[in-house]
C-alpha cells in the first residue's frame, strides 16, 4: 500500500534543521539500518555512486570536527554524525570496476557493455577535468542528502544538513588528502532537544504558485 499523502506532509512539516539535539537520545539500531539502506539505494547519474559516507563515532574526532564546523553543537550532541564524501575524479579503472559490478549483478558480460563503457569514458573521463568530475560527484552526493533527510523525517528522526563546515579541515582531520575523496557536507541525526527554540519557528517557503510552472 502506498504511504498516505497526509503522512508525508506531516513528516515534512514536522522536520526542521535542528540546532540543538538531546545528547541522551540514541537512534535505535533498526531505524539506523533503514537510514543506511536509504543512502545505499540513492540513485546517481549513470549509477556510478561516486560517494562515501563516514559515520563519526569517536567523541574526540567529533570534537575536532565541531571546531571545524563553526562550533555547531549538532556535531557532538547528535546521536549519529555522518560526513558525506565525493570522489574527486573518475578514471577508466573506476568505470571498469563499475561495469564488472553491473555484469555480476545482472548476469551479463562486461563485453556486452562496451557501448555503455565508451559513453561513460566520453562523458565522465574525457570531457571532464578533475575539478569538473568533483562538481559532478558533489551533485550526486546532494541526492543522497535529500533521500536521507526525507527518510529520517518519515521515521520521526531529527536531522541537520550541514554545509557550515570547513571541508579542507575535515579532509585533514579524516586523513583524506590524496585519497581521491573529499568532504562535501555532513548530516547530524538524532532527536531534538525540547528547548530547541527553532522547532517553534514557522516554515519560510514560497507558495507552490511561486515556484511551480506548468507549460
Ligand atoms: C545543504 C544545506 C546545508 C545547511 N547547513 C546548515 C548548517 O551548517 N547549520 C545549520 O544549522 N543549518 C544548516 N542548514 C539548514 C537550513 O538553514 C534550513 O534547512 C533552511 O533554513 C530551511 O529550514 P528548515 O530546514 O528548518 O525547514 C542547511 C541546509 C541545507 C539544505
> pLDDT of 177-194, one tens digit each?
999 999 999 999 999 999
Q: Which domain holds residue 97?
A: 91-127
* pLDDT score, position 155: 98
In a domain, 5, yes or no: no
Looking at the fold, whether 35 and 108 belong to one and the same domain comes out as: no
* pLDDT score, position 1: 76
User: Which of residues 107, 127, 147 is at a domain's end?
Assistant: 127
Looking at the fold, whether 123 and 29 belong to one and the same domain comes out as: no
pTM of the model: 0.97
User: Does residue 34 surpass a pLDDT of 90?
Assistant: yes
Taking residues 24-31, what's their average pLDDT?
98
Looking at the fold, whether 61 and 120 belong to one and the same domain comes out as: no
Whole-number Å distance between alpha carbons of 160 and 118: 40
Cα–ligand 1 centroid distance for 162 (angstroms)? 6
Q: Which atom of ligand 1 lies nearest, measured to the CA of 142?
A: 1
Looking at the fold, whether 123 and 135 belong to one and the same domain comes out as: no
Looking at the fold, whether 107 and 188 belong to one and the same domain comes out as: no
In a domain, 2, yes or no: no
In a domain, 4, yes or no: no
Cell 563499475, located at residue = 98
Mapped onto helix, strand or coil, the DSSP state of residue 174 is coil
Q: In total, how many domains does the chain have?
A: 2
Looking at the fold, whether 119 and 198 belong to one and the same domain comes out as: no
With a 6 A CB cut-off, is 16 part of the ligand 1 pocket? yes
Taking residues 150-164, what's their average pLDDT?
98
Taking residues 65-72, what's their average pLDDT?
98
Which residue's CA is the nearest one to ligand 1's atom 17?
17
* pLDDT score, position 49: 98
For 73-125, the pLDDT digits (tens) are 999 999 999 999 999 999 999 999 999 999 999 999 999 999 999 999 999 99
Quote the DSSP letter at residue 198.
Answer: G
Looking at the fold, whether 67 and 99 belong to one and the same domain comes out as: no
Looking at the fold, whether 97 and 61 belong to one and the same domain comes out as: no
User: Does residue 10 surpass a pLDDT of 80?
Assistant: yes
**Four-residue CA torsion sign, 95, 100, 101, 107:** positive
Best mutation site among 161, 167, 190, 200 for ligand 1, i.e. most ligand atoms within 8 A of its Cβ?
161
With a 6 A CB cut-off, is 19 part of the ligand 1 pocket? yes
Residue 64 CA from chain centroid, whole number: 21
Backbone angles phi, psi at 73, to 5 degrees: -70, -20
* Mean pLDDT taken over the chain: 97
* pLDDT score, position 127: 94
With a 6 A CB cut-off, is 72 part of the ligand 1 pocket? yes
In a domain, 8, yes or no: no
For 167-179, the pLDDT digits (tens) are 999 999 999 999 9
In a domain, 194, yes or no: yes
Whole-number Å distance between alpha carbons of 209 and 215: 13
* pLDDT score, position 67: 98
CB atoms within 10 A of CB 23: 14
In a domain, 3, yes or no: no
Cα–ligand 1 centroid distance for 160 (angstroms)? 6
Confidence of residue 137 (pLDDT cuts 50, 70, 90): very high
Cα–ligand 1 centroid distance for 159 (angstroms)? 10
In a domain, 31, yes or no: yes
Across the beta sheet with 158-162, the strand order is 51-55, 80-87, 181-190, 158-162
Answer yes or no: are the C-beta atoms of 189 and 157 closer than 8 Å.
yes
Looking at the fold, whether 173 and 71 belong to one and the same domain comes out as: yes
* pLDDT score, position 120: 97
Cα–ligand 1 centroid distance for 178 (angstroms)? 29
Mapped onto helix, strand or coil, the DSSP state of residue 108 is coil
Amino acid at each position: 500500500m502506498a504511504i498516505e499523502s497526509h503522512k508525508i506532509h506531516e513528516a515534512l512539516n514536522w522536520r526542521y534543521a535542528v540546532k540543538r539535539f538531546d545528547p541522551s537520545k540514541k537512534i535505535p539500531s533498526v531505524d539506523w539500518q533503514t537510514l543506511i539502506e536509504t543512502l545505499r539505494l540513492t540513485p546517481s547519474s549513470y549509477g556510478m555512486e561516486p560517494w562515501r559516507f563516514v559515520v563519526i563515532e569517536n567523541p574526540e574526532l567529533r570534537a575536532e570536527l565541531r571546531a571545524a564546523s563553526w562550533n555547531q553543537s549538532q556535531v557532538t550532541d547528535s546521536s549519529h554524525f555522518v560526513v558525506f564524501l565525493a570522489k574527486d575524479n573518475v578514471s577508466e579503472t573506476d568505470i571498469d570496476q563499475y561495469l564488472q559490478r553491473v555484469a555480476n549483478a545482472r548476469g551479463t558480460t562486461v563485453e556486452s557493455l562496451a557501448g555503455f563503457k565508451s559513453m561513460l569514458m566520453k562523458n565522465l573521463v574525457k570531457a571532464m577535468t578533475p575539478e569538473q568530475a568533483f562538481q559532478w560527484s558533489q551533485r550526486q552526493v546532494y541526492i543522497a542528502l535529500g533521500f536521507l533527510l526525507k527518510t529520517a523525517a518519515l521515521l520521526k528522526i531529527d536531522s541537520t544538513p550541514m554545509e557550515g563546515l570547513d571541508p579542507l579541515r575535515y579532509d585533514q582531520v579524516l586523513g583524506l588528502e590524496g585519497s581521491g575523496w573529499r568532504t562535501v557536507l555532513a548530516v547530524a541525526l538524532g532527536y531534538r532537544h525540547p528547548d530547541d527554540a527553532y522547532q517553534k519557528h514557522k516554515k519560510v517557503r514560497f507558495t507552490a504558485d511561486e515556484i511551480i510552472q506548468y507549460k
